[in-house]
């Protein structure tokens, strides 16, 4: 009996562990089913855990580009898109208490700050996102500035941690040019993906782009934080040789002439004589009846230079001793039949023909017959022609120039050994600037050597590369110590001066009363292969100023002028004169009062419309008399009363109807449209003269406002 009792006791004791094991097994099975039931949740968590261990790329900040005095030319601007994840658990907890208690105040603050929707519209929009449980919901189409974002991230819900409030702002980086189109094609562009496309941005991309870093996402206190394993190294800053003031002067002078001549395109290059620094590079091409920087004409245009090459040809002959400055040449009636197939003519023919003239007058009058005969008479066979071409090259004419840009055009002068179809008449053609390739930068570089007492400098666009406090200085480089003898140089410089100052000079019309300059005109037909087509010309003027102590060399180029007879002096020369005078005035070499209206003189601005608060601030700064109107919150019409005080009146516009934006500047017009929540497309430059829809017309939903400027 005792034995049976003992057995029962043992069995009872053994049953408890068995029961516990059975219960544990049941719990494991239940947990398994629970995990399986919520498998999507755990798989997502697993993915997130795996993602935390994946290396993430850390993008560096691209370096800035500056002008020679430190003014910003190109920089990376940071903007934000407002996004929300309505699936975060705390936002939906307790029947969405956090969301529903704050949606009204959040809607009000967004409407007040962004002004692209009403409070009611924002509330409806946010509720739509909440109900749809959107995981990547856009709150506003507007891109938010860093100043606006600083305020917005403190709004209700947004100020919660993103794993609680669901606020996930997206950072957008875009490249901006504070001076807009000024030297735009030279500075270059960067795509939205961060790829450098052209200009300095592309040429110095390795320095500007920086080095990406890497890191991992770690969760700390419930928040995902990117911890860098290898920090990103930000891009270096580029200090260019470009001068904003000179660039502005050159662009305005060229644009004015292109408009008057209805020309196809034009270019201006301005170089500092002693260093070779490019101070201005303007490239304008007609598009949609206005002129824009859309093509790099200065560095990527192959062209026959025309008469600017006569200086080079004559210099080679003078150095060779085959021609003397005292020689004369008979230009006859201005028409020279070189052979039965080739005829060369001057712009002065018949009664106005040059007749017998000196070598100097050949350059002064830019006589094709004169230079052609001079060179042809001395180098009319193959052996002599080869010698002449080598003499030209020995002066550094075709020496390669590299400023870092891809696709640059290069000069070449081909002689009998390099051209299978060479004829003896080609030497005369070369002397006039045909049958050679001389891009604008090469002509400018050679003429700059003339101004620099024969020393040829390497042109360059970047003077410094900066990394924090470290500065890599790029110094001037000499391409050729001496292009010719001092004697020849003095003869050529005097001839170039007479081109401007002699009564027969082709640039006499461009002579300045204030700045003495020297140079050479160029007029070349570039469609001579098609006799059935209207003659098309390119005109140019290249020279240096001031003559007594040359500071700058400049080349002006205009392609296919439509108004008037093609003239290097009358067209390009006048632009050169305008630039020379204004550049010297900006350096206090000339009194500014000489110029009635230009970009250097401060004048009373003409006001028509504007943002009220900004106008008041501006008027106060400039001490302009005005009558305040505190009832105006935003935009105002501006006029003057009988006492010549400016007065403000509100710009009236009904809801969902187009306001009158005419006479507004582009910046204000776009800002106004953005406040209406509308995207814009612009055409032209200047101020708005019309827009679509017209004032008072309904603005359709999702429509784009077209702004036309002039």
DSSP code, position 221: T
CA distance 616 to 251: 31
Higher pLDDT, 386 or 15: 386
Pairing mode, if any, of strands 328-330 and 635-640? unpaired
Helix, strand or coil for residue 611? strand
pTM (two decimals): 0.72
Q: What is the mean pLDDT of residues 141-145?
A: 83
Confidence band for 481, pLDDT divided at 50, 70 and 90: very high
- Options 3.10.110.10, 3.30.300.30, 3.40.710.10, 3.90.1150.10; which CATH number does 244-594 get? 3.40.710.10
Mean residue pLDDT of the chain comes to: 85
Q: What is the mean pLDDT of residues 165-190?
A: 86
* Among the listed residues 629, 653, 649, 652, the one whose alpha carbon sits nearest the alpha carbon of residue 638: 649
Residue 688 pLDDT: 81
CA distance 578 to 580: 6
Give the DSSP H or E segment for 538: strand 537-545
Residue 39 pLDDT: 63
CA distance 421 to 399: 24
Q: What is the mean pLDDT of residues 173-193?
A: 86
3-state secondary structure 391-458: HHHHCCCCCCCCCCCCCCCCCECCCCCCCCCCCCCHHHHHHCCCCCECCHHHHHHHHHHHHCCCCEEC
Confidence band for 170, pLDDT divided at 50, 70 and 90: confident
pLDDT tops 70 at residue 177: yes
DSSP code, position 62: P
Residue 472 pLDDT: 94
Q: For 151-167, how does the pLDDT look when each residue is reduced to its tens digit (9 = 90+)?
A: 898 999 988 877 788 88
Look up residue 411 and give its two tokens. 């000069």
Residue 418 pLDDT: 86
Q: For 538-572, how does the pLDDT look when each residue is reduced to its tens digit (9 = 90+)?
A: 999 999 999 999 999 999 999 999 988 889 999 99
Higher pLDDT, 137 or 17: 137
Higher pLDDT, 120 or 4: 120
Q: What is the mean pLDDT of residues 234-252?
A: 95
Query: What CATH architecture is 56-239?
Result: Alpha-Beta Complex (3.90)
pLDDT tops 70 at residue 45: no
Residue 305 pLDDT: 94
3-state secondary structure 488-506: HHHHHHHHHHHHHHCCCCC
* Among the listed residues 688, 644, 648, 643, the one whose alpha carbon sits nearest the alpha carbon of residue 665: 688
Q: Which of 78-82, 96-100, 203-207 has the highest mean pLDDT?
A: 203-207
pLDDT tops 90 at residue 6: no
Share of the chain above pLDDT 70, in %: 84
Q: For 297-344, how does the pLDDT look when each residue is reduced to its tens digit (9 = 90+)?
A: 999 889 999 999 999 999 999 999 999 999 999 999 999 998 878 889
Name every residue whose Cβ is closer than 8 Å to that of residue 393 and which is 6 or more positions away in sequence.
Answer: 399, 413
Confidence band for 188, pLDDT divided at 50, 70 and 90: very high
378-385, Cβ contacts within 8 angstroms, sequence gap of 24 or more: 378/317, 378/320, 378/322, 378/323, 379/322, 379/427, 380/424, 380/427, 381/424, 382/416, 382/422, 382/424, 385/415, 385/416, 385/422, 385/424, 385/426, 385/427
CA distance 656 to 697: 9
CA distance 199 to 682: 24
Higher pLDDT, 229 or 267: 267
Helix, strand or coil for residue 192? coil
- Compute the C-alpha angle 315/317/320, nearest 5°: 110
| Residues β-bridged to residue 708 | 683, 690
Residue 137 pLDDT: 87
Name every residue whose Cβ is closer than 8 Å to that of residue 152 and which is 6 or more positions away in sequence.
Answer: 82, 109, 110, 113, 144, 158
Confidence band for 51, pLDDT divided at 50, 70 and 90: very low
Give the CA distances from residue 592 to residues 92, 244, 288, 582, 599, in Å, rounded to whole numbers and listed in that order. 69, 18, 35, 8, 11
- Whether the CB-CB separation of 687 and 673 falls below 8 Å is answered with no
Give the CA distances from residue 435 to residues 211, 272, 412, in Å, rounded to whole numbers and listed in that order. 47, 30, 9
Higher pLDDT, 671 or 707: 707
Structure-token match 């419930």, residue found: 222
Confidence band for 141, pLDDT divided at 50, 70 and 90: confident
CA distance 661 to 672: 8
Q: For 110-134, how does the pLDDT look when each residue is reduced to its tens digit (9 = 90+)?
A: 998 888 889 999 999 999 988 888 8
Residue 598 pLDDT: 47
Q: For 568-622, how does the pLDDT look when each residue is reduced to its tens digit (9 = 90+)?
A: 999 999 999 999 999 999 887 766 555 554 443 344 455 566 766 767 776 766 6
Higher pLDDT, 143 or 345: 345
Length of the chain: 710
Q: What is the CATH number assigned to the segment(s) 609-709?
A: 3.30.10.20
Instruction: Kindly provide the residue ranges of all beta strands, DSSP E only, lying in 590-678, ordered along the sequence.
Output: 609-611, 626-627, 635-640, 646-650
CA distance 248 to 280: 8
Name every residue whose Cβ is closer than 8 Å to that of residue 390 and which is 6 or more positions away in sequence.
Answer: 415
pLDDT tops 80 at residue 398: yes
Look up residue 215 and give its two tokens. 């890191």
Structure-token match 């270019």, residue found: 267
Residue 700 pLDDT: 77
* Among the listed residues 700, 699, 701, 669, the one whose alpha carbon sits nearest the alpha carbon of residue 683: 669
Q: Which of 134-138, 367-371, 701-705 has the highest mean pLDDT?
A: 367-371
Name every residue whose Cβ is closer than 8 Å to that of residue 368 and which is 6 or more positions away in sequence.
Answer: 307, 344, 345, 346, 432
Name every residue whose Cβ is closer than 8 Å to that of residue 576 and which is 6 or more positions away in sequence.
Answer: 510, 517, 519, 541, 543, 554, 556
- Whether the CB-CB separation of 50 and 217 falls below 8 Å is answered with no
Q: What is the mean pLDDT of residues 268-283?
A: 98
Residue 687 pLDDT: 76
Within 10 angstroms of residue 581's Cβ, the number of other Cβ atoms is 23
Name every residue whose Cβ is closer than 8 Å to that of residue 571 and which is 6 or more positions away in sequence.
Answer: 257, 261, 539, 558, 561, 564
Within 10 angstroms of residue 675's Cβ, the number of other Cβ atoms is 15
Higher pLDDT, 649 or 104: 104
Residue 7 pLDDT: 60
């Amino acid at each position: 009996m005792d034995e049976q009792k003992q057995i029962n006791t043992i069995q009872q004791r053994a049953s408890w562990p068995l029961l516990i094991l059975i219960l544990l097994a049941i719990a494991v099975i239940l947990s398994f089913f629970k995990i399986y039931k919520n498998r999507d949740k755990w798989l997502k968590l697993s993915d997130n855990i795996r993602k935390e261990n994946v290396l993430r790329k850390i993008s560096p900040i691209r370096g800035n580009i500056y002008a020679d005095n430190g003014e910003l030319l190109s920089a990376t601007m940071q903007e934000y898109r407002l996004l929300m994840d309505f699936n975060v658990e705390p936002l939906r907890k307790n029947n969405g208490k956090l969301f529903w208690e704050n949606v009204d105040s959040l809607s009000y603050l967004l409407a007040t700050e962004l002004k692209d929707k009403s409070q009611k519209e924002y509330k409806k929009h946010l509720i739509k996102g909440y109900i749809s449980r959107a995981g990547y919901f856009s709150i506003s189409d507007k891109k938010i500035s860093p100043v606006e974002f600083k305020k917005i991230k403190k709004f209700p819900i947004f100020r919660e941690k993103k794993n609680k409030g669901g606020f996930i702002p997206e950072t957008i980086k875009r490249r901006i040019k504070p001076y807009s189109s000024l030297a735009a094609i030279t500075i270059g562009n960067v795509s939205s993906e961060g790829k450098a496309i052209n200009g300095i941005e592309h040429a110095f991309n390795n320095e500007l782009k920086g080095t990406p870093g890497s890191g991992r996402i770690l969760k700390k206190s419930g928040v995902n934080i990117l911890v860098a394993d290898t920090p990103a190294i930000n891009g270096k800053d580029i200090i260019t040789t470009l001068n904003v003031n000179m660039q502005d002067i050159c662009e305005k002078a060229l644009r004015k002439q292109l408009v008057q001549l209805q020309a196809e395109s034009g270019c201006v290059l301005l170089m500092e004589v002693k260093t070779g620094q490019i101070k201005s590079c303007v490239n304008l091409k007609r598009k949609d009846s206005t002129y824009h920087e859309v093509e790099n004409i200065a560095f990527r245009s192959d062209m026959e230079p025309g008469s600017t090459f006569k200086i080079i040809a004559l210099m080679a002959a003078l150095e060779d001793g085959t021609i003397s400055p005292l020689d004369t040449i008979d230009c006859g009636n201005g028409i020279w039949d070189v052979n039965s197939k080739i005829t060369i003519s001057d712009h002065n023919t018949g009664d106005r023909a040059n007749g017998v003239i000196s070598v100097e007058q050949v350059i002064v009058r830019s006589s094709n017959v004169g230079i052609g005969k001079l060179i042809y008479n001395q180098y009319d066979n193959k052996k002599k022609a080869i010698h002449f071409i080598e003499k030209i090259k020995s002066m550094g004419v075709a020496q390669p120039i590299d400023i870092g840009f891809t696709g640059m055009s290069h000069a070449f002068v081909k002689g009998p050994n390099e051209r299978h179809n060479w004829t003896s008449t080609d030497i005369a053609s070369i002397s006039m600037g045909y049958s050679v390739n001389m891009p604008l930068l090469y002509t400018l570089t050679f003429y700059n050597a003339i101004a620099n007492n024969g020393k040829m400098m390497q042109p360059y666009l970047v003077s410094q590369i900066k990394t924090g406090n470290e500065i890599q200085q790029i110094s001037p480089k000499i391409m050729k110590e001496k292009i010719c003898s001092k004697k020849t140089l003095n003869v050529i410089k005097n001839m170039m001066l007479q081109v401007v100052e002699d009564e027969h000079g082709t640039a006499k019309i461009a002579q300045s009363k204030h700045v003495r300059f020297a140079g050479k005109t160029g007029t070349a037909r570039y469609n001579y292969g098609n006799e059935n087509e209207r003659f098309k010309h390119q005109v140019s003027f290249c020279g240096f100023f001031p003559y007594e102590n040359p500071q700058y060399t400049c080349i002006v180029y205009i392609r296919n002028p439509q108004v008037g007879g093609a003239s290097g002096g009358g067209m390009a020369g006048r632009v050169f004169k305008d630039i020379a005078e204004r550049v010297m005035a900006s350096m206090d070499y000339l009194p500014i009062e000489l110029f009635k209206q230009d970009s250097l003189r401060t004048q009373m601005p003409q006001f028509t419309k504007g943002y009220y608060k900004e106008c008041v601030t501006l008027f106060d700064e400039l001490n302009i008399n005005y009558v305040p109107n505190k009832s105006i919150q935003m935009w105002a019409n501006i006029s003057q009363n009988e006492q010549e005080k400016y007065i403000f009146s509100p710009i009236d516009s009904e809801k969902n109807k187009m306001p009158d934006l005419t006479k507004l500047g582009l910046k204000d017009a776009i800002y106004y449209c953005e406040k209406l929540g509308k995207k814009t497309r612009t055409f032209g430059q200047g101020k708005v003269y019309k827009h679509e829809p017209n004032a008072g017309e309904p603005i359709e939903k999702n429509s784009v406002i077209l702004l036309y400027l002039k």
